[in-house]
Each structure stands twice: as structure tokens, then as C-alpha cells.
Amino acid sequence: MEKTKISVEIQEQSKKIISDFNQKELKGNPHLRYIPEFKGNYLYLNRMEYNKINPVVRLEYTGNMKKWKFEIFKWSSETYDSEDLFFSGCEYINGTIQGAMKAGNEAYPV
């Protein structure tokens, strides 16, 4: 199966979604925000928490902006896990970037 690389257009759409989430859900706090990082077909949603960047979620682009594959960062193994879907916030996982960030906020509250 061929991997789908995230195009510049999709990256820009994703950044806009993340910026809007930071403004609305994180109240525009300059010390608390999600920072996107794109690598291949992955979008890493890291969270800046008072000058420290922490991994939270990794999304795999499937070719559809509403059907990203979700993986939560597990501190116990320091890896991303797509199998662990029983954590506080898992109810927000719906294939969207917004749902992933909501799930991340519940799993790792600040």
C-alpha cells in the first residue's frame, strides 16, 4: 500500500484548524498551545506547555481530512500507540484533528 504524503495545501488547512483550536479551546494562552509537525504522512500534535514541548498525539493522513488515524503518545513506553483506546478523552476520537486535540487534552490535562 502506498503511503499518502501530506500536501502543502493539507498542511495549511491543518495549521488553520490547530490555530483556531488554540484560540478557542486553549483561550489563546501563549504559554499553552498545540504545535504541528509534519513528517511524511504523519502530523505530530505536540503541546507547548510553558516553554516545554511534549508529545501528545500522532495522526496518519489517509487522504481524507475527516479520517485521520489516531495514535496517543504513551509515556510509559515513550511510543505512539493506536491500540490503546481506553483512556480519558478517547470518546473524542472521531477522525478529525479537533477530536484528536480534545482527546489529547483529556488524556494529558494541563
Q: What is the pLDDT of residues 11-32, one digit of tens each?
A: 999 999 999 999 999 987 888 9
Q: Is 85 within the bounds of a domain?
A: yes
Query: What are the helix (H) ranges across 1-110?
Result: 8-24, 97-107
pLDDT tens across 50-69, in order? Answer: 989 999 999 999 999 999 99
pTM above 0.95, yes or no: no
Closest CA to 101 of 53, 51, 36, 7: 36
Q: What is the domain count for the chain?
A: 1
Q: Is 99 within the bounds of a domain?
A: yes
Q: How many CB atoms lie within 10 A of CB 78?
A: 8
pLDDT mean over 2-19: 90
Structural domain range at position 15: 8-107
Q: Is 2 within the bounds of a domain?
A: no
Q: Is 102 within the bounds of a domain?
A: yes
pLDDT greater than 50 at residue 1: no
pLDDT mean over 77-83: 89
Contacts of 15 (CB under 8 A, 6+ apart): 36
CA distance 72 to 103: 9
Q: Is 71 within the bounds of a domain?
A: yes
**Percent helix, strand and coil across the chain, each to the nearest 5:** 30, 30, 40
